Structure 1
Amino acid sequence: MTAASSIISPLLSNDVVNLAVDYKNQPAIRSTSGGWRSAVLIIGVEIAERTAYTGISFNLITYLTGDLGQSTATAAANVNAWFGLSLITPLLGAVIADSYLGRYRTIVVASIIYVLGLGLLTLFAVIPSNSTDCDANSSSCHPPLYQLILFFSSLYLVAVAQGGHKPCAQAFGADQFDAEDLEECKAKSSFFNWWYFGTCTGTLVALTILSYIQDNFGWGLGFGIPCITMSTALVVYLLGTMSYRFSISSDEKSPFMRIGRVFIKATRNRTLASSELSFNEQAREILSDQGSQQFNFLDKALLSADCSKEDEKVCSISEVEEAKSVLRLAPVWASCLVYGIVFAQPITLFTKQGVTMNRSIGSKFQIPPAALQAFIYLAVLLFIPVYDRALVPIARVLTRKPAGITMLQRIGVGLLFSVFSMLSAALVEIKRLQTAQDYGLVDTPDASIPMSIWWLVPQYVLLGLADVFAIIGLQEFFYDQVPGELRSVGLSLYLSIFGVGSFLSSILISVIQKSSSTNGRDGWFSDNLNRAHLDYFYWLLSGLSAMALVMYLYIARSYIYVRRVL
């Protein structure tokens, strides 16, 4: 067999995956690349990455209010700002991956930055502080300025690394399945369930083990373990290189250039009469068949200024459809922002609630307050198999859809659970404040209120159920409803919901605290939580969540899917 025939032969086989190559840049063979063999490895890497990231983020407010001596409102605002940025930077990472480096190389670069940031955090934690700036009524001290610069620089370095790793890893994992093959298409839908199962496993490990180490053995070890974990993940990821499939574009142009050209061309042609589009009836028929009645102003990108279809600068129908598919995501994205605000509460205010409550198990062991977030992920881990193996098959019979229910229906159920979570949080906080008052502990914030921390479990579990539906639904929706070359961007858009939500939470907390603490009042977020009113904030969020759900349902009913994959 000649060299040429050895290349052509696999191309004629049904075993070749369309628009995918292997690590040698040869056509990817279905039987020897991708699939679950590669996806499981990438999920394993994600488990390690989530362990490292959660080990930093979910107990960060304890470190800021303890070792760095910040107030509750300041620490909550700092955590929300950092958490928000770490979920906004994926937009930049996705652009770099989809236009320049590719997902595989972007993950490698991001992982190296990750290890560097975690290493510097560990260095900060083990360097003894030379500061004598300590509060007279507290054991906490404020580190010198150069150490604070090192700490926050390292922290934001982790946020930048997260921006490259998070959207690319999930998209790269989903790329291991061929959407044109029926069995692999079904496997891809399950992949999003098991991907989130893996992320919750890593998160659960961090919450139950790392939070205890940080509270009892110090932050040097608490930051060092995530650094080692992320280093191990990078090595494992590189070892799997020969088994991966790498997606390639069917168009030499950058997807951003194609979409950007549509908007520019449509803007330039905005003065042309709509009737002038009639020159291309075939295009109009195709656009109508594809459900493109939304955002019709972009159709003008199909025309040149002199109405000539010979102009090379005229956009193609597929390019216009790409632009519309991205624009259609905006209303769904906006309607989920309140859910992003709710998502930010467990790592800040929920944790501070737990600090004030009875955390004893036996005579010696104290539950780390951040560890209670484990119930979110326990709920996820327990319910995902039930959803994937029981509810989906039943729903498939009823709806005749491969995924059981549509992606937007799944998201809507999750948003409903988030409303219930905030209602539960408000009711429990009312009970906590009443208990503090009954036992005369209102003005002794350091005393443990005789109310078990287990009262907080329902609000965590309800958020876990919300995540099973909303987060996984959002992941699949934003991956599926964008052009293939923009899937990293799609997943970064999903992540940006929680990034913007965290920023909005930070702004809300700052504005409310400032307005509610005038004339000598303590405010909703007083450092003395027994005089604060977190219950008011939770009532506010439950109301906003309910209104956002109504808006979402209206938007979801009118949404037109790009292609029938459900």
Structure 2
Amino acid sequence: MGEDDDYTNDGTVDIHKNPANKKKTGNWRACRFILGNECCERLAYYGMSTNLVNYLGKRLSMGNVAASTTVTNWSGTCYATPLIGAFLADAYLGRYWTIAIFSVIYALGMTFLTLTASIKGLKPQCDKSGCQATSSQRAACFVALYMIALGTGGIKPCVSSFGADQFDETDETERKKKSSFFNWFYLSINIGALIASTVLVWIQMTVGWNWGFGIPAVAMAIAVAFFFLGSKLYRLQKPGGSPLTRIIQVIVASIRKYNVKVPADKSLLYETPDEECNIQGSRKLEHTDKLRFFDKAAVESETDHDKDLPNPWRLSTVTQVEELKSIIRLLPIWASGIVFAQYTVK
């Protein structure tokens, strides 16, 4: 084995931005920290959210209807903020720093939520007739909840992909291990959710909300600690630009070339001459005959270049076009899961 074989071939680097050494980074030595982070984070999330309607309805005196509406809006925000996290991770920060920054925001939100249920002045005053919450106490609770929503938006879209980054796709042995990682990943999610939906809900209803929120806050702090402890072992993919931007570029270029005829010889479609893909951390995709309208974006013409460089809003590579096609083909599968997700939230 040569010296070059000691390093990954997928462009990953270590925390110090040096080429990732296979013997010192990645694989299961790094994934155990990621799995521990995910288990604790899911325990914190479900431990806080499973019984949230009950807390808002009774302790913040909102009533069942208003509490249910509030939780639905908050849950929707939790599923929308990953768009922000994914964009920042792909275009600017990378997955490691996105998870790190948003995990800290998440932990601060959990801590603040615990304080709103524990400290006099922040927590509602309760007696035998019920609880009375002031507008400032509700506002404090909502600030904490939406800090959590923002925090989870940086973790959800990144952590599973970050785990996959720990295995070199060009190495056959590591490629096989990657599929096992996802099995353990979803097991860790379900372990955290199971403990939260049983033990923590019982604690909230019988012991108190200060403990019921405090334990998830501690779990989130442990999740953050787990994540940072593995920093020296992680393999990091460099940000390769936002896929959302690339998708829009393909659509715009296709519309601009609405009247352009796609050549029968698909090898004439534009692609970078290098063996590697021009999208950081990705490999080239082969052309497919489906959704051929978007192939127009890869038809090269004299007006597609600015100072000898291709204008990305007029000319797209075959790989970019196939990236969009793949997403469109997945839309029916994604749409069929909306019904399930709705029932899960409720």
Matches within 5 A, 1:473-512: none
Percent sequence identity over aligned pairs: 38
Match for residue 292 of structure 1 among 264, 284, 288: 288
Judge conservation of contact 2:166–2:235 (CA < 8 Å) in 1.
yes
CA 131–46 in structure 1, closer or farther in 2 if over 3 Å, else same: closer
Quote the residue 2:339 is aligned against: 338
Judge conservation of contact 2:7–2:19 (CA < 8 Å) in 1.
no
Greater RCO, 1 or 2 (C-alpha within 8 Å, sep 6+)? 2
1:146 Cα deviation after fit:
0.6
1:278 Cα deviation after fit:
1.6
CA 28–266 in structure 1, closer or farther in 2 if over 3 Å, else same: same
Match for residue 223 of structure 2 among 230, 233, 258: 233
Question: Is structure 2 residue 310 aligned with structure 1 residue 312?
Answer: yes
Task: Kindly provide the amino acid, as one letter, of the partner of residue 190 in structure 1.
Answer: S
Judge conservation of contact 2:12–2:19 (CA < 8 Å) in 1.
yes
Distance 1:59 1:131 in 2: 17
Question: Is structure 2 residue 88 aligned with structure 1 residue 96?
Answer: yes
Structure 2 runs not aligned, ≥5 long: 272-284
Task: Kindly provide the amino acid, as one letter, of the partner of residue 87 in structure 2.
Answer: V
Task: Kindly provide the amino acid, as one letter, of the partner of residue 319 in structure 2.
Answer: S
CA 160–311 in structure 1, closer or farther in 2 if over 3 Å, else same: closer
Match for residue 262 of structure 1 among 233, 240, 250: 250
Distance 1:75 1:264 in 2: 43
Q: CA-to-partner distance for each residue in 1:238-268, whole Å, 9 max, x for gaps?
A: 121111111236x6x5544433321211121
Question: Is structure 2 residue 185 aligned with structure 1 residue 195?
Answer: yes
Task: Kindly provide the amino acid, as one letter, of the partner of residue 134 in structure 2.
Answer: P
Q: What's the RMSD between the two structures over aligned residues?
A: 2.9
Judge conservation of contact 1:17–1:30 (CA < 8 Å) in 2.
no
Match for residue 242 of structure 1 among 221, 232, 238: 232
CA 92–205 in structure 1, closer or farther in 2 if over 3 Å, else same: same
1:280 Cα deviation after fit:
5.2
1:141 is paired with a residue whose SS is strand
CA 304–130 in structure 1, closer or farther in 2 if over 3 Å, else same: closer
Quote the residue 2:131 is aligned against: 141
Judge conservation of contact 2:99–2:159 (CA < 8 Å) in 1.
yes
1:39 Cα deviation after fit:
0.9
Structure 1 runs not aligned, ≥5 long: 1-8, 346-566
Question: Is structure 2 residue 299 aligned with structure 1 residue 303?
Answer: yes
Distance 1:80 1:230 in 2: 22
1:295 Cα deviation after fit:
2.2
Distance 1:189 1:308 in 2: 41
Quote the residue 2:174 is aligned against: 184
Distance 2:74 2:61 in 1: 18
TM-score normalised over the length of structure 2: 0.85
Quote the residue 1:221 is aligned against: 211
Quote the residue 1:282 is aligned against: 267
Question: Is structure 2 residue 70 aligned with structure 1 residue 78?
Answer: yes
1:285 Cα deviation after fit:
12
Deviates more, 1:304-313 or 1:215-224: 304-313
Judge conservation of contact 2:88–2:94 (CA < 8 Å) in 1.
yes
1:299 Cα deviation after fit:
0.9
Distance 1:131 1:100 in 2: 39
Quote the residue 2:26 is aligned against: 34
Distance 1:284 1:67 in 2: 63
Distance 1:144 1:261 in 2: 49
User: Which of the pair is proportionally richer in helix?
Assistant: 1
2:109 is paired with a residue whose SS is helix
Matches within 5 A, 1:445-524: none
Question: Is structure 2 residue 17 aligned with structure 1 residue 25?
Answer: yes
1:72 Cα deviation after fit:
2.7
Q: CA-to-partner distance for each residue in 1:51-108, whole Å, 9 max, x for gaps?
A: 1111110111221222123333332222222122112211111111111111111111
Distance 1:269 1:84 in 2: 37
1:123 Cα deviation after fit:
1.6
2:296 is paired with a residue whose SS is helix
Task: Kindly provide the amino acid, as one letter, of the partner of residue 331 in structure 2.
Answer: A
CA 145–166 in structure 1, closer or farther in 2 if over 3 Å, else same: same
1:281 Cα deviation after fit:
4.1
Task: Kindly provide the amino acid, as one letter, of the partner of residue 289 in structure 2.
Answer: Q
CA 61–183 in structure 1, closer or farther in 2 if over 3 Å, else same: same
Distance 1:53 1:308 in 2: 48
Distance 2:252 2:180 in 1: 38
Judge conservation of contact 2:11–2:237 (CA < 8 Å) in 1.
yes
Q: CA-to-partner distance for each residue in 1:310-342, whole Å, 9 max, x for gaps?
A: 882322212212222223222221122111112
1:110 Cα deviation after fit:
0.7
Question: Is structure 2 residue 111 aligned with structure 1 residue 125?
Answer: no
Distance 2:126 2:190 in 1: 38
Distance 1:35 1:330 in 2: 31
Asked which structure has the greater CA Rg, the reply is 1
Distance 2:156 2:289 in 1: 34
Task: Kindly provide the amino acid, as one letter, of the partner of residue 233 in structure 1.
Answer: A
CA 329–283 in structure 1, closer or farther in 2 if over 3 Å, else same: farther
CA 254–154 in structure 1, closer or farther in 2 if over 3 Å, else same: closer
Judge conservation of contact 2:269–2:298 (CA < 8 Å) in 1.
no
